[in-house]
Amino acid sequence: MSRTWNFYAGPATLPPPALERAKADIPDWEGTGMSVMETSHRSPEYDAVHEEAIALMTELLGLDDDHQVLFIQGGASMQFAMLPMNFIPKEGSADYINTGTWSQKAIKEANIIATCRVAGSSESEGFTRIPKQEELDLDPAAAYVHITSNNTIKGTQYHRFPDTGDVPLVADMSSDILWRPFDANRFSLIYAGAQKNIGPSGVTVVILRKSWLEKANQDLPSMLSYATYSTKNSLYNTPPTFAIYMVRNVLAWLKDQGGLAATEKTNRAKGDLLYGVMAEYPDFYHCPVVEDSRSYMNVVFRLPSEELEAKFVAEGKAAGMVGLKGHRSVGGCRASIYNAMSLEGVETLVEFMKEFAKKNV
Ligand X SMILES: Cc1ncc(COP(=O)(O)O)c(C=O)c1O
Q: Which H helix or E strand runs over 269?
A: helix 259-280
Q: At closest approach, how far in Å is the CB of 262 from ligand X?
A: 24
CB of 300 to ligand X, least distance (A): 13
The site for ligand X (CB under 6 A) is made up of 10, 75-77, 102, 148, 152, 172, 174-175, 193
Strand ranges, E, within the chain: 5-6, 67-72, 94-98, 116-121, 145-148, 150-151, 156-157, 169-172, 189-193, 204-209, 298-301, 321-322, 333-336
CB 59 to ligand X: min, Å: 24
**By the 8 A CB rule, do 313 and 325 touch?**
yes
- Say if strands 145-148 and 116-121 run parallel, antiparallel, or are unpaired: unpaired
Q: Write the DSSP symbol of residue 294.
A: B
Bridge partners of 98, per DSSP, are 121
Q: Which of 29, 154, 179, 196 is catalytic?
A: 196
Catalytic residue among 5, 29, 95, 172: 172
Q: What Cα–Cα distance (Å) separates residue 66 from each residue in 157, 187, 231?
A: 27, 11, 13
Closer Cβ to ligand X, 171 or 353, answer by number? 171
d(CA 134, CA 164) in angstroms, rounded, equals 12
- Choose between 193 and 323: whose C-beta lies nearer to ligand X: 193
For ligand X, the closer CB: 289 or 303? 289
Least distance between ligand X and beta carbon 25 (Å): 25
User: 196 catalytic, yes or no?
Assistant: yes
Q: How far is the CB of 175 from ligand X (least distance, A)?
A: 4
Name residue 45's beta-bridge partners.
none
What CA–CA distance (Å, rounded) separates 76 from 198? 13
Cβ closest to ligand X, residue 172 vs residue 309: 172
Strand pairing class (169-172; 156-157) = unpaired
Nearer to ligand X, 121 or 175 (CB): 175
Q: Active-site residue 212, yes or no?
A: no
Catalytic residue, from 5, 29, 95, 102: name it. 102
CA–CA separation, 170 and 187 (whole Å): 6
Residue nearest ligand X by beta-carbon distance? 75
Task: List the catalytic residues.
Answer: 102, 172, 196
